[in-house]
Amino acid sequence: MAEGARAGVLVTRPEPGLSDTMTELARRGWSPCAAPMLHVIPLPLKGATRFGRVVVTSGQSLNSLAATLPHDIALTAVGRKTAERARACGFTSVDHAGGTALSLVPHLGEPCGDPTLLLATGRHLGQDLARDLRNAGWSVSRRVVYMTQPVGHLSSSVCARLSAGEIGAALFYSAATAQAFLRAVGERRTILRTITALALSTQIADVLAEAPFAAVRTAEHPDQDSLLSLLDSPAHGPLHATEKGSDA
């Protein structure tokens, strides 16, 4: 293990979540570098707001829901972090699934009481989940409560750190952020050769596989703790700034 300051870690997710990840990386001794690759635009919840339950697949949905729905509605979040954000927004009856959309259907099972369910999601997302929930007996209303737009460029400070070999790893929490990042890098992909890409899921890793990263690795479980544990994994050794500088 080489000595030296730990390398920078690029965080590509937008808020909410970006600040939490930056804080956690700093707490663990890393040098976080913010590069949010999506603009998130909340959209108002339209139509009826009386449902037996609401399902939230992303923390991006919560701003619109908190402004519209009664806070005592039964709310099922995709995972623990989203559940924590829902409680922070004022929702009082919150449970959560295992961290992926696939885990929501077995977690919910068949409806025991009111089968009406609001699936709050982003634009172009959630169609398969809505179908699977209907097949399980739920009366699903899928509503789009946010949309995302890719950030078309990397900031000058991020580009400078990438070019200087100061970034040892990049975190990717969604396929959309991975796609936006690769588009923003464009023809400068050689700067990725000394960077390990860390993906929250195999779907995200598949997007990143086309780029010339030093390695693409996937979290064992779809949560932040598993993703960040890859930074210290013996599979590639801890990342250090001096090591990455010598590789470049």
The enclosing domain of 64 has a CATH number of 3.40.50.10090
| pLDDT band of 233, cuts 50, 70, 90 | confident
Model confidence at 236: pLDDT above 50: no
Predicted TM-score (pTM) of this structure: 0.81
Q: Are residues 114 and 174 in the same domain?
A: no
Residues 6+ apart with CB under 8 A from 167: 7, 8, 9, 10, 33, 161, 195, 244
Given 149, 183, 211, which residue is the final one in a domain?
149
Q: Are residues 162 and 133 in the same domain?
A: no
Give the E-state strand segments of the chain in sequence order: 8-11, 31-34, 38-42, 53-56, 74-77, 93-96, 116-122, 139-150, 167-172, 196-199, 215-218
Domain of 185 in residue numbering reads as: 8-37+151-247
**Does the residue 180 lie in any domain?**
yes
Mean pLDDT of the 169-197 span: 95
Given 100, 119, 149, which residue is the final one in a domain?
149
Model confidence at 173: pLDDT above 90: yes
> Quick check: helix, strand or coil at residue 143?
strand
Backbone angles phi, psi at 168, to 5 degrees: -100, -20
Q: Are residues 242 and 181 in the same domain?
A: yes
Q: Are residues 57 and 27 in the same domain?
A: no
Q: Are residues 32 and 84 in the same domain?
A: no
In this prediction, residue 49 carries a pLDDT of 76
Q: Are residues 112 and 141 in the same domain?
A: yes
Beta bridge partners of 217: 198
Domain count, the chain: 2
CA–chain centroid gap for 99, Å, is 10
Q: Are residues 125 and 165 in the same domain?
A: no
- Round to whole Å and give the CA distance between 19 and 17: 6
- CA separation, residue 117 to residues 92, 110, 134, 137 (Å): 17, 12, 10, 10
Q: Which helix (H) or strand (E) holds 218?
A: strand 215-218
Q: Which two tokens stand for residue 64?
A: 């619109």
Given 119, 149, 179, which residue is the final one in a domain?
149
